[in-house]
Amino acid sequence: MTYIASNNRYADMKYKQCGKSGLKLPLVSLGLWHNFGDKDKFENGRAIIRNAFDLGVTHFDLANNYGPPAGSAETNFGKILKSDLASYRDELIVSTKAGYDMWPGPYGNFGSKKHLIASLDQSLQRMGLDYVDIFYHHRWDAETPLEETIGALEMIYKQGKALYIGISNYKGEQSQLAINMLKEKGIPLLINQAGYSMLNRWVESDGLLEILDNNGVGCICFSPLAQGLLSDRYLKDIPKDSRAARPNSFLKPERITYELLSKLKLLNDIAAKRGQTLAQMAIAWLLKDQRVTSVLIGASSVQQLEINISAMKHLSFEEDELKQISVLIE
């Protein structure tokens, strides 16, 4: 059946200007880090993406190595673009990244010009696109001179293969260096993608948010639910089908201590009094900060997607709620 997007797709979603650019991003964006690879059910991922767009999610975030296997999330997204979203391309913000392990040998990762140029060309081919809206260097590379990395991003930008340039996993001082170098080339840094949640607050102590704000750069937060810890899945124990139960997962079982579970239960109580799930409150907590442009969520089902997007219905916090949360997460 031919997909036709909802006529009401822009009725409820809120959009925010990204830094000092003219680009607006939805407050909630969809990341394809998990659940969209070849090892996942294609039709489930397709339903999630279509429903996300129907709900006003215009920004879809990928990376060269998303899958598994690496590259398959981009390939599957490209199929969905072609079959369902081709006529809506100008309504979409598609981003991808390069910098983590992608192919064997010395050119398959990090920040060399060789890696970044080749990787983006591969990504465009997998997705069937002439350009991406945002291209990120995925991580700081201490072994490659920043001038080389920035030179590659300049080349990509000026060739029109990316409309905007971003960085990810760059700390505050590193971000400032990248901002300055790009500015010298007449290229504004659009956005920094950083891990940020109630349980992962390094961007506050690092000063990253202030640096981005002072330079007119947007901030998009990944892992807003701390790899699922800030959902209702871990309120009792580690579920057998959860991310923490998987081998080689980013979320290690040893992290889930009795003390953490106790904090999660108390946070869940605050969320319940607000009429929200813990996940919804965690997303709203990030979006209360005006320096945050968008929150990047994952989704394993349409239901989960819809629940988390509905966090936007209640973004304000009472002072007492913030104090209670602050005591628990300090």
- Does residue 20 lie within any of the structural domains? yes
- Does residue 330 lie within any of the structural domains? no
C-alpha–C-alpha distance, residues 39 and 71, integer Å: 12
- Does residue 264 lie within any of the structural domains? no
Tokens, residue 305:
């997607």
- Does residue 323 lie within any of the structural domains? no
pLDDT at 242 over 70: no
Helix (H, G, I), strand (E, B) or coil at 222: strand
Residue corresponding to tokens 């709900």: 55
C-alpha–C-alpha distance, residues 64 and 116, integer Å: 10
Pairing between β-strand 218-222 and β-strand 294-297 as defined by DSSP bridges: parallel
Residue 257: what pLDDT? 87
- First vs last C-alpha separation in the chain: 51
Model confidence at 116, pLDDT cuts 50, 70, 90, reads very high
List C-alpha distances in Å: 219 to 25, 32, 141: 11, 18, 20
Residue 214: what pLDDT? 98
- Does residue 240 lie within any of the structural domains? no
Residue 236: what pLDDT? 72
pLDDT at 253 over 80: no
Q: What are phi and psi of 285, to 5 degrees?
A: -60, -40
Residue 92: what pLDDT? 98
91-103 pLDDT per residue, tens: 999 999 999 999 9
Tokens, residue 52:
């996300």
Q: Residue 20: which CATH number?
A: 3.20.20.100
195-212 pLDDT per residue, tens: 999 999 999 999 999 999
Tokens, residue 138:
């995925």
- Does residue 269 lie within any of the structural domains? no
> Total domain count for the chain?
1
Residue 285: what pLDDT? 98
pLDDT at 321 over 90: yes
- Does residue 176 lie within any of the structural domains? yes
Q: Are 95 and 133 in contact (CB under 8 A)?
A: yes
C-alpha–C-alpha distance, residues 29 and 248, integer Å: 26
Model confidence at 239, pLDDT cuts 50, 70, 90, reads low
Least confident of 183-187, 246-250, 277-281: 246-250
69 preceded by a cis bond (ω within 30 of 0): yes
- Name the strand (E) or helix (H) holding 226: none
224 preceded by a cis bond (ω within 30 of 0): no
Summary mean pLDDT of the chain: 95
Tokens, residue 296:
């990047």
Residue 249: what pLDDT? 56
Residue 203: what pLDDT? 98
Tokens, residue 277:
């799930």
What mean pLDDT comes out for the span 236-265?
70
What mean pLDDT comes out for the span 239-267?
73
Residue 256: what pLDDT? 82
User: Taking Cα atoms as reference points, which of 228, 276, 232 lies closest to residue 253?
Assistant: 228
The torsion region of residue 19 among left (phi > 0), alpha (psi -120 to 50) and beta comes to left
List C-alpha distances in Å: 39 to 65, 70, 312: 14, 11, 31
Residue corresponding to tokens 């106790």: 262
- Does residue 255 lie within any of the structural domains? no
Per residue, what are the HEC states of 66-93?
A: CCCCCCHHHHHHHHHHHHHHHHHHHHCE
pLDDT > 70: what percent of the chain? Answer: 95
User: Which range marks the domain in which residue 226 is found?
Assistant: 15-234+277-315
pLDDT at 303 over 70: yes
Model confidence at 233, pLDDT cuts 50, 70, 90, reads confident
